[in-house]
Amino acid sequence: MTTELAPRTERFFLLTLAGVQFSHILDFMIMMPLGPILMAAFGIGTHEFGLLVASYSFSAAISGVLAATFVDLFERKRMLLVCFALFALATLACALAPGFSMLLLARGLAGVFGGIMGALVQTMVGDVIPFSRRARASGLIASAFSLSTIAGVPLSLWLANHFGWQTPFILIAATSVLFIVVGLRFLPELRHHLSEEKRAHLLSATFSVLGEANHRHALLFSALLVFSGFTVIPYITVYAVNNVGIDPHDIPFVYLAGGFATFISARLIGQWADRHGKVEAYRWVALITIVPLLVLTHVGRLPLWGWLICSTSFFVLISGRMIPAMAVITSAAQPKLRGTFMSLNGTVQSLAMGLATTLAGYMIALDADGHVVGYPFAGYLAVGANLVAIWYVGRIVMHGHKP
C-alpha cells in the first residue's frame, strides 16, 4: 500500500529526502578521501583508519536492530527529523574530537543516527512511490551520492587542506540543520502504517520480517551487494596517492569527475530499470562493473587523466547497480512491515560494510616504501561477492510487480 501524492508534492518530497541522504552520505564518504590527512594527523596506519570507517557501519548496524523494534510504531516524518537532529550533533562532535579515540566514538554516534535515517528514507520512498516508478525515484535519491561527490567531497577536502580536518564535519552539521528546516516544510506526515493492533512484544515485527523467506533472500542479497563494494571503496584514495602517484591536491578532481558522471547516469539507469525490468537492469550493470573493479585494484602508476577514466567508470557502475537493486529490495518488503524490514536491511548493509572494510583492512597494508600491498586480493573478493549477488537476485519476489 502506498500514499499517493500530487506530482509537484511528490517531487518536493523526493528532493527533500535526497537532501537528507546528501548529508549522511557525505558524512560517511568524507572519511575515505580524508584517509591520508587523518593517518598523518593521528599517526595511524591502515588498520586504525579502517576502524574509523567501520565504526560508523557497525554502529549503524546496532541502531538498525534497535530501530526495528519501534520504527513502525511512530509517524515517519517526526522520527526522521529527530534522528536527523541527533545526527547533526554527533557530526559536530567529530569536529570537536581531540584525539583518535574520541573521534572513533563520535563516528560511532554519527553511525547510530545515520543508519536509522538511511533506512527511513528508503522506507518513505516505498510508502509513497508506486512500484512502476520506484527505480526512477531511487535514481533521484541516489543523486545525493552524486552531489556529495561533485560538491560535498571536493569542497570538504579543500576546507580540510586549508583549515584543518575538522572543518568538513562542521560544514556537514550546518548543512544538516538547513535540511531539517526544509524537511519541516516539505515532508508529509505518513501514518498509514500505524495500526491499533498491539504487538505481542517488541520483537514481534522483527520476527515477522525474518520469518518470511522472501525477506531473508532480500536481506542476504543486500549484504552481498554492499560487501562487494566496500572491500574496495574505503581504500581508493590511499591507493591512488601511494601507488598510482596521484597528488593529494588532485583528489578532489577524482570525486568531482565521478560525481558529475553519476549524477547524469543515476537518472538514466533508474528510467531504464523501470522500463525494462529492475532485475535485468541490475544484472547488466553489476556484470559490467567487474571490469573497472579489477582495473582499479590492479593498475600501477598513471597520469591523472588515466586514473580519472578508471575511477569515474568505477563510481558510475558501482553506484549505478544500487539503483535497481534498492528498488528490488524495497519492493520485497510487506508494506505493513516496511519500516521494520528497511531497518533490518540497514543493519545488514552496515554489518556487510563494516565487515568488508575491516577484512580488507587486514588484507591491505603499507610496505616499507609506503606503497599499498594486497589491494588486488580485495578486488578478487569484491568480484566473487558481486557474482554471487548477480545469481541470487533472481530468488527475490517483488510486491507490486506484475509479471
Position 195 scores a pLDDT of 57
Position 200 scores a pLDDT of 46
Euclidean distance between CA atoms 66 and 77, whole angstroms: 18
DSSP character at residue 242? I
> Are 275 and 136 in contact, with CB atoms under 8 Å apart?
no
> Are 57 and 354 in contact, with CB atoms under 8 Å apart?
yes
365: enclosing H helix or E strand? strand 365-366
Grid cell, residue 241, equals: 596517492
Q: What is the pLDDT along the chain (403 residues), one digit of tens a residue?
A: 455 666 677 778 888 888 888 888 888 778 877 877 888 888 877 778 878 877 887 888 788 777 767 766 777 888 889 999 999 999 999 999 888 889 999 999 998 898 888 778 877 877 777 777 767 776 777 666 667 666 677 777 788 888 888 898 998 999 999 999 988 888 877 666 555 555 444 566 677 888 889 999 999 999 999 999 989 988 888 899 899 999 888 888 888 888 788 878 887 888 888 888 889 999 999 999 999 999 999 998 999 999 999 999 998 999 889 889 988 888 888 777 777 787 788 788 878 887 888 888 888 888 888 888 999 999 999 999 999 999 999 899 876 554 3
> Are 347 and 64 in contact, with CB atoms under 8 Å apart?
yes
DSSP character at residue 197? S
Euclidean distance between CA atoms 299 and 259, whole angstroms: 21
- Cα torsion through 289, 253, 263, 347, rounded to 10: 60
- H helices then E strands: how many in the chain? 17, 2
Position 286 scores a pLDDT of 95
Number of other residues whose CB lies within 10 A of the CB of residue 299:
18
In order of start, what are the domains of the chain with their CATH numbers? 9-184+201-395 (1.20.1250.20)
Position 310 scores a pLDDT of 94
Position 6 scores a pLDDT of 65
- Closest alpha carbon to 282 in 232, 360, 218, 337: 218
Euclidean distance between CA atoms 115 and 135, whole angstroms: 21
Grid cell, residue 157, equals: 577536502
- Find the angle CA(329)-CA(54)-CA(85) to the nearest 5 degrees: 75
